[in-house]
Amino acid sequence: MSNETDPHLLVAIMQRAFAQKQDSFPRRVNLEGHTLERGITEDRITSIRTFPILDAIASLSVSQGTHEVYAVALQVDPVNQKIRLTIAGNQGVPVYLKAHLVKVWGKLQELSTQYAENRGLDPNSERSPRVPKGVALPTRVDIFRDICQFSLEKLVTRGEKWRAGLSHFMRQLVKHRKTGLQGVELDLFHATLGLLKLHKSLSGLHLDSKKEFTHKEWVDIYQESMWASKCTQRVLEYDNGTGCEKLARKLGGRRCYGGPFRLRRALEKLNSLPRNIKILVAFANSRRLRPALQYAMSIVAVPAQTRFIPLPRSQDDWLLVLQNETEQHYPWQLGEAEALLQAFKPPRKKCDVHCECSLIQYLERCHASGTAWDKIPPFNYLGVSKLSCYACYLWITAFNEQGGRKIFTRGSHGKWCFPWAMPNSGKNLVRSMAKKLSKEYYAYLSMSGLIWLDEDSTPPSSPVGGEDSDTEEDGERAAMIATMVEESGGIAEAFSAFLY
């Protein structure tokens, strides 16, 4: 690719090409080969169990219905018995979020103490004990209530998106199974009832700001949500994790974009709150992780980062970008250049640096400054409230290839997003990112039939020295072929005439 091409422009090109649709399956990072460099414990199995805790904290930090994403890093100082959360958001971190997390953390400390005082037998076992039945129920309900009230808008918005589709699917299933439901289908029925009831309760609270539930009502909602979550998990794990897809294909149900209803997606989204609550409760009940809840906790907010990305000012400018990438001229590029000009108005675009990239850069810069906390490496896994866009995924991959500390997240949902900006980075990282984007662009062009690449092809190099890539003779040959195609009635007919 041309060294002059701004990687941000390639992201814009890919975003327009896919129009926010999945370009592939989600890319989820395989963590089996990685261990935490630092953490509450050096035990690998126990360390991996902390991953969902960070994702849960990030997810439960979201309170708005849309456009709010957070990333969380964790540092532990066992010598001074301190723990620090560093949080970044796409639009910064509001003060009320820090207060909310401090409140929830305090409740988790209470819960951990109550569990520790009611341990069962085998106190020396390395495994976390079962959550004692009935123990600390008021504290668990308080945590559940506080999180529901904080995230009410997000929960209601998410419920509205999936409620109708799941209800319709369940009605179709009940209608199809005239003799009754059994096994996983019965679990699905129970899960659906519980999750929809949770949504109905929270929607009522959202619609009437003066409405308040009694403690007993919160207990009922909490317990039913936990039961629904247990049923949901059985459905998601059925048949080695393929049961949802098989059931959706078999039944059909409500169609979405020409395919079966996304049953797994609906269950995962509606079960997100109960699942994250269960993760926090399990964290508080863990014997090995209890020290973390005995340490003093502080929170650092990463300032939001915004960059203004210069955009091509004319169709010819966009055309030059496209031709620099392919190093050849294609007829389709002129129309694509006009479409890009209309999609991304010049002269520049205000772009947020997404929170996971912003957090990584912040941690790296602080590490270089050498203050007390900055000498303690964070977990090499960041919790995120949402899977990364594909550009962020590529940037993190490029960052990990620079030879320093490696950072991991859950992975990517595979979508391209623009406006998008990467942090101000060194030349090597920018160059690596540009190469990855160029490779993705060529894969898209090949997949779309806009260019033809062999399996082992790489982006084209410059013409061999002494050769002219656009001679007058080449133009005459192209014109002759175009005339032959037109006279033959099409390219297939022209090719047949040429052969015979």
Query: Could you read off the pLDDT tens digit of each residue along the chain, which spans 500 residues?
Result: 445 689 999 999 999 998 745 544 445 544 444 443 433 333 334 444 457 899 999 999 999 988 899 999 999 999 999 999 999 999 999 999 999 999 999 999 999 999 988 876 555 555 666 766 788 999 999 999 999 999 999 999 999 999 999 999 988 888 888 777 888 999 999 999 999 999 999 999 999 888 899 999 999 999 999 999 999 999 999 998 888 988 888 876 445 445 688 999 999 999 999 999 999 999 999 888 888 899 999 999 999 999 999 999 999 999 999 999 998 899 999 999 999 999 999 899 999 999 999 999 999 887 655 678 888 889 889 999 999 999 999 999 999 999 888 999 988 988 999 999 999 988 999 999 999 999 999 999 998 888 876 544 555 443 333 344 444 554 555 555 556 546 665 444 544 454 44
Taking 3-state DSSP, the helix, strand and coil percentages for the chain, each rounded to the nearest 5, stand at 55, 10, 35
> What pLDDT, on the 0 to 100 scale, is given for residue 483?
64
Instruction: Tell me if 237 is assigned to some domain.
Output: yes
Instruction: Tell me if 353 is assigned to some domain.
Output: no
> What pLDDT, on the 0 to 100 scale, is given for residue 33?
44
How many structural domains does the chain have? 1
Instruction: Tell me if 342 is assigned to some domain.
Output: no
- Contact criterion met (CB below 8 Å) for 391 and 416: yes
Instruction: Tell me if 138 is assigned to some domain.
Output: yes
Q: Which residues contact 393 (CB under 8 A, 6 or more apart)?
A: 27, 411, 412
Give CA–CA dist 455/457, Å, rounded: 6
* pTM for this model (two decimals): 0.82
Q: Which two tokens stand for residue 444?
A: 């898209």
- Cis peptide bond upstream of 419, omega within 30: yes
Instruction: Tell me if 200 is assigned to some domain.
Output: yes
Pairing of strands 27-28, 411-412: antiparallel
Distance of CA 96 to the CA centre of its chain: 24
Instruction: Tell me if 351 is assigned to some domain.
Output: no
Instruction: Tell me if 141 is assigned to some domain.
Output: yes
Give CA–CA dist 141/248, Å, rounded: 34
Instruction: Tell me if 162 is assigned to some domain.
Output: yes
Q: Residue 30 carries which side chain, given as an amino acid letter?
A: N
Give CA–CA dist 155/64, Å, rounded: 9
Q: Which two tokens stand for residue 235?
A: 């459905």
Other Cβ atoms within 10 Å of 321 Cβ, number: 22
Give CA–CA dist 305/379, Å, rounded: 23
The phi and psi torsions of 73 (rounded to 5 degrees) equal -115, 150
Residues spanned by the domain of 211: 108-118+134-302
**What value does the CA radius of gyration of the chain take, rounded to a whole number of Å?**
27
Residue 296 pairs in a beta bridge with 82
3-state secondary structure of 349: strand
